[in-house]
Amino acid sequence: MTRSAAPAPVDGPTPLPAGTGMGLPFDPTWCLVVGDDREGTGPADDAGLATVVESWCCLADGTVGTRGVLEDESGGDHPPGPAVVAAGLYEPAEGVSETLVPLPSWCALPVAGSLRTGRRVLDLRDGVLTRRAAGGGGGGELWSARFACAERPGTGVLVAEVAAELLTGGPVGGGCRVGGPDEGGPAGSSAGQAGEGAVPRRWRSPFGGGALVATDTRVTPEARSGGPVTVERLAVHVVSAHRAPRRAEASRRLARARELGPAALLAEQRRAWGKRWAAADVEIVGDPELTLAVRFSLFHLLSSAARRGEAAVGARGLTGPAYAGHVFWDTDVFVLPVLAAVAPRQARAVLEYRLRRLDAARARAGGNGRRGARFPWESAHDGRDVTPRSGVDQHGTQVPIRTGDLEEHVTADVAWGAWRYAAWTGDWSFLTGPAYPLLVETARYWAARVRRDAQGAAHIDHVIGPDEYHEDVDDNAFTNLMARWNLRRAAELVERVGPRGSEADEAGGWRETADALVDGYDRATGRYEQFAGYDRLAPVMAADLGTPPLAADLVLGPERLAATQVVKQADVLMAHFLVPGETEPGSLDANLRHYLSRCAHGSSLSPSVHATLLARDGRPDEALDLLAVAVAVDLEDLTETTGGGLHLANLGGIWQAVVHGFAGVAVERPDDPALVIEPHLPGGWDELKVTVGWHGAELHLTCRRDGVHVSSPVALTVRVHGTVARIEPPGRWVG
Ligand code: IFM
Neighbours of 606 (CB within 10 A): 30
In a domain, 216, yes or no: yes
Distance 314 CA to ligand 1 centre (A): 11
Ligand 1 centre distance from Cα of residue 543 (Å): 22
> Are the beta carbons of 701 and 693 closer than 8 angstroms?
no
pLDDT, tens digit, 9 for 90 and up, residues 685-697: 999 999 999 999 9
Which of these, 277, 260, 374, 377, lies nearest to 326 by C-alpha position? 377
**Any domain includes 181:** yes
Which H or E element spans position 692? strand 687-694
> What distance in Å separates the CA atoms of residue 64 and residue 646, rounded to the nearest whole number?
15
Total Cβ atoms within 10 A of residue 559: 8
Instruction: Tell me, in angstroms, the distance from the centre of ligand 1 to residue 387's CA.
Output: 11
Residue-range definition of the domain harbouring residue 85: 31-278
Which one, of 211, 266, 217, 263, lies nearest residue 237 by Cα? 211
**Best of 470, 603, 647, 650 for a ligand 1 pocket test (most atoms within 8 Å of beta carbon):** 603
Average pLDDT over residues 70-82: 79
Atom 10, ligand 1: residue with shortest CA distance? 315
Q: Is residue 165 part of a domain?
A: yes
422 pLDDT more than 50 = yes
Task: Say what the pLDDT of residue 22 is.
Answer: 62
pLDDT at 21: 53
The rounded distance, in Å, linking the Cα atoms of 15 and 5 is 22
Q: Report whether pLDDT(301) > 70.
A: yes
Q: In this structure, are residues 417 and 353 in contact, taking their beta carbons and an 8 Å threshold?
A: no
Atom in ligand 1 nearest the alpha carbon of residue 468:
5
Give the pLDDT of residue 188. Answer: 27
| Cβ contact 132:118 at 8 Å | yes
Which residues neighbour 593 within 8 Å (Cβ) at sequence distance 6 or greater? none
Using the predicted structure, report yes or no on whether residue 734 has a pLDDT greater than 50: yes
Select from 337, 584, 375 the least CA-distant residue to 481: 584
Mean pLDDT of the chain: 91
- Cα of 620 from ligand 1 centre, angstroms: 26
Query: Are the C-beta atoms of 544 and 560 separated by less than 8 Å?
Result: no
Which pTM does this prediction carry? 0.94
Cα distance between the two ends of the chain: 45
- Mean pLDDT, residues 172-197: 39
Which residue minimizes the CA distance to atom 6 of ligand 1?
Answer: 603
Question: pLDDT digit string (tens) for 342-355?
Answer: 999 999 999 999 99
Q: How far is the CA of 330 from the centre of ligand 1 (A)?
A: 7
Region 629-650: what's the mean pLDDT?
97
* Residue 497 lies inside a defined structural domain of this protein: no
- Pocket, ligand 1, Cβ cutoff 6 A: 315, 323, 328-330, 466, 468, 603, 605, 649
| Structure-model confidence comparison of residues 735 and 152, the more confident one | 152
Atom of ligand 1 nearest to the CA of 649: 10
- Per-residue pLDDT of 340-395, as tens digits, reads 999 999 999 999 999 999 999 999 999 999 999 999 999 999 999 999 999 998 88
**Overall average pLDDT of the 96-109 stretch:** 93
User: Does 127 map to a domain?
Assistant: yes
Return the best residue to mutate from 571, 605, 609 for the ligand 1 pocket (most ligand atoms within 8 A of CB): 605
Residues 238-260: tens digit of each pLDDT: 999 888 899 899 999 999 999 99
Q: Which residue has the higher pLDDT, 614 or 170?
A: 614
How many domains in the chain? 1
CB 105 within 8 A of CB 77: yes
Q: What band does 8 get if pLDDT is binned at 50, 70 and 90?
A: very low
Nearest CA to ligand 1 atom 5: 603
Q: Could you tell me if residue 315 is inside a domain? A: no
| CA 554 to ligand 1 centroid distance, Å | 16
Could you please report the per-residue DSSP string of 544-579?
GTSSSS--HHHHH-HHHHHTBS-BSS-SHHHHHHH-
Active site residue 468: yes
**Residue 448 confidence (pLDDT):** 98
**Residue minimizing CA distance to atom 7 of ligand 1:** 603
Whether 226 is in a domain gets the answer: yes
Q: Is the CA virtual torsion 48, 551, 631, 650 positive or negative?
A: positive
Hey, whose CA ends up nearest to atom 9 of ligand 1?
315
Whether 23 has a pLDDT exceeding 80, the answer reads: no
Shortest-distance atom of ligand 1 to CA 466: 4
687-694/716-720 β-pairing? unpaired
Distance CA 505, CA 494 (A): 9
The CA distance from 76 to 179, in Å, is 11
- Residue 18 pLDDT > 60, yes or no? no
CA count, 13 A, side-chain hemisphere, 518: 20
Element (H, E) at 678: none
Dist. CA 219–CA 232, nearest whole Å: 7
The pLDDT of residue 41 is above 60: no
Percentage above 90 pLDDT, the chain: 81
Which alpha helices (DSSP H) does 287-398 contain, by range? 288-304, 329-330, 336-342, 344-355, 358-367
Q: For 564-569, what is the mean pLDDT?
A: 98
- 642 near 55, Cβ under 8 Å? yes
pLDDT for residue 416: 99
Q: Which of 196, 232, 468, 503 is catalytic?
A: 468
Provide the pLDDT for residue 191: 27
Which ligand 1 atom sits closest to the C-alpha of 323?
A: 9
- 4 within domain boundaries: no
pLDDT band at 199 (very low <50, low <70, confident <90, very high): low
Question: Quick count: other Cβ atoms within 10 Å of Cβ 359?
Answer: 14
CATH of the domain at 253: 2.70.98
Handedness of CA 620, 625, 629, 631 (dihedral sign): positive
